[in-house]
Structure 1
Amino acid sequence: MATLLDKATEIVDKIITQSNEDTSRTIFAVGSKSAGKSTLISNFLEKNEAPRETLVLEYSFGRKSGQKQGLEKIICHVWEYGGKLELLKNVLTSVPLHSKSYFIVMIDLSKIKTIWNTIETCVNCLKPYVEKSSSKDLLLIGGKYDLFNNYDSEIKKIICSTLRCVALINDAHLIFYSSKEPQLMRRVKEMLHNAAFGNGVVIKEKNVNLNKPLIIPKGFDSWESIGIPKSTMDQVKMRHVARIPLEVEAKEITNFELQRSHPEPILDSLAALKYEDIRNMELFDPSINDYLMCL
């Protein structure tokens, strides 16, 4: 038989859980390097300092008074991942996500050969977490639209078609953005503000004209509108890479010789072994050569 203390504990736990669901949100942003993630988040949170490069994972938050005359605070936890995309799956397991979570994939539209790898890696990693979230919102944001707009119409048609297909298959919002264009910046900022402190992602506009910045809320696109038969992600990938080849990663030089020698030969040997150990570390991002020159 439950005691009075057990009942009281159950009631308190229920209140705390309900409060956390109502007053805590999470935004998780990932994508191409230098696509504008930090600038967008800084602008959204109205930070005064200039955004700096995100090396691995950074946390910030925003807070706003709720409906109860300032007694209740809504907190939005913002996580930005700027490390290697192939390690994203490992990082996500350590990030505390709330029931209302919004996931952003930022795509650098100016680097067309990297677009598919960014989409495929990020969407595949995020999809299980999107499905667990009560908000179920995945946002594909095409950054650097100001540069993308200078491409010829055929390239823009291919990229726009690919992104619309991916958004349709994964039930995602699609919006183009540039930190250089105040109107586009303001539009995305308002969208994030409503997700963080309002009633979720609200996009009232729609544009599928490739000569203007795309903005397509989830559920408002169709295969007929895109102009291709219903497809899978693999089929979309085949069509995309047939027209825009993927970027080939430069192979790492394995036969590296240290330029600085030490007074004792044994020290050179130890330094070479140390270099080999560090080179094989997946999580080591800084310049290895610079590090070893300091030994």
Structure 2
Amino acid sequence: MPGASDTLWEIAKAEVEKKENQEGDRDGLECWERSIFFIGNKNGPKDIAHFWELGGGTSLLDLIPIPITTTNVRALAVVLVLDLSTPNALWPAMESLLPVTRKHVDKIITKLEETNPKAANEIKQKIWNSLPKDHPDRELIDPFPIPLVIIGSKYDLFYEFDSEVKKIVYKTLRFVSHYYGASLVFTSKSEALLLKTRALINHLAFGFDRSKSMAVDQNKPLFIPAGLDSFSQIGPPPASDSDIGKLHAQTPMDLWKKVFEKKFPPKNIGVSKEVRDPAQDPQYAEYEVDAMRAQKNQELEQYKRNAAKTWKEMEFES
């Protein structure tokens, strides 16, 4: 216990020694560092210090394994950021990013079972803790293996949409979020909405108490912590019985997808390339700058080849 006369260095030293002494007790989920991994549409999430962020649609799917490891998976959460102003890109973003992320998380947990089965089991059990034991949907959902938050960004633009459009997006995202045992929140530049989103992220990142309030009014931004919604409250997909009968869906998720895509045909969410690159325009040519740029491009390509080789060896070793 540091005394009043201890120097800053003595206090820091004492803290480090305390953590080292407790290192042997970290077989379970107790971790000193937590991680948050942001994925989503291009231009959806903003850069956040000390957080992983992968925005760019499906163009960077190969990079998803990098921030998810056996070291941090025990205290890792995933945040999927969706651009509400482009409804046609919502389902492609979810369908592309979530399964790839989930597959890698499952792979990492399987690896963890070989070295620390207790921790792996606790991860699996922890995800069900957010859902009450008497919840009527426990047998109907398929929770994401680690905490998942779905953020609908640009609510200020989405608010101006037609009420029927908003209804479909609201109900669909509620269904998907509840099915995956995820939290759902809509946000924009509004300070009030940012505070709600920040509180949810603080819960994931720092273990702060989770809000138990929820907002499901179609005329207001959604805020639904994991486990507080239900299929009975969400209701059926927003389509007539005759239309639903013609869709021939195999699963509830498939049915919601078909209903959603009928209204919002899928839109490519990859990174669009500019038709013209100013750097290649002769009118802006500068010998020294162009020579340095060419050198840096070569170095970048070499780095990418080396990095790709390293990751392939790491993830696909027999």
TM-score where L is the length of structure 2: 0.58
Gaps of 5+ in 2: 1-19, 110-122, 128-145, 238-249, 283-300, 305-318
Cα contact 2:155–2:187 (8 A) shared by 1: yes
**CA distance in structure 1 between the partners assigned to 2:42 and 2:258 by the alignment:** 24
1: distance between equivalents of 2:23 and 2:32?
14
Contact 2:44 2:55 in 1 (8 A): no
What CA distance in whole angstroms lies between the structure 2 residues aligned with 1:213 and 1:149? 8
- Is it true that 1:244 corresponds to 2:233 in the alignment? no
Structure 1 residue 109: Cα displacement: 0.2
Change (3 A) 1:216 1:253: closer
Show the counterpart of 1:30.
39
CA contact (8 A) 2:42 2:57 kept: no
Q: 1:227 aligns with which of 222, 235, 238?
A: 235
| Residues 218 and 130 of structure 1, relative CA distance in 2, 3 Å threshold | farther
1:201-250 CA distances to partner (integer Å, 9 max, x unpaired)?
x1322111110001112222222211117953222111100111112579
Q: 2:100 maps to what in 1?
A: 125
Cross-structure match for 1:109: 84
Aligned length: 214
8 Å contact kept, 1:37–1:106: no
- SS class of match (1:142): strand
Aligned to 1:189: 198
TM-score, normalization by structure 1: 0.62
Higher strand residue share: 1
Q: Which has the higher helix share?
A: 2
CA distance in 1, matches of 2:269, 2:65: 27
Per-residue deviation, 1:36: 3.5
Equivalences for residues 148-187 of structure 1 within 5 A:
148-178=158-188, 180-187=189-196
1:174/1:13 Cα in 2 relative to 1: closer, same or farther (>3 Å)? same
Alpha-carbon distance in structure 1 between the residues aligned to 2:91 and 2:78:
18
Summarize the Cα distance change of 1:93–1:164 in structure 2 as closer, same or farther, 3 Å threshold: same
Specify the alignment match of 2:137 in structure 1: none
Deviation digits for residues 59-80 of structure 1 (CA, Å, limit 9, x no counterpart): x42xxxxxxxxxxxxxxxx211
SS at 1:225 equivalent: helix
- Whichever residue aligns with residue 234 of structure 2, its letter is I
Q: Cα RMSD between the aligned structures? A: 3.5
Alignment partner of 1:94 is 2:114: no
- Distance in 1, matches of 2:184 and 2:97, equals 15
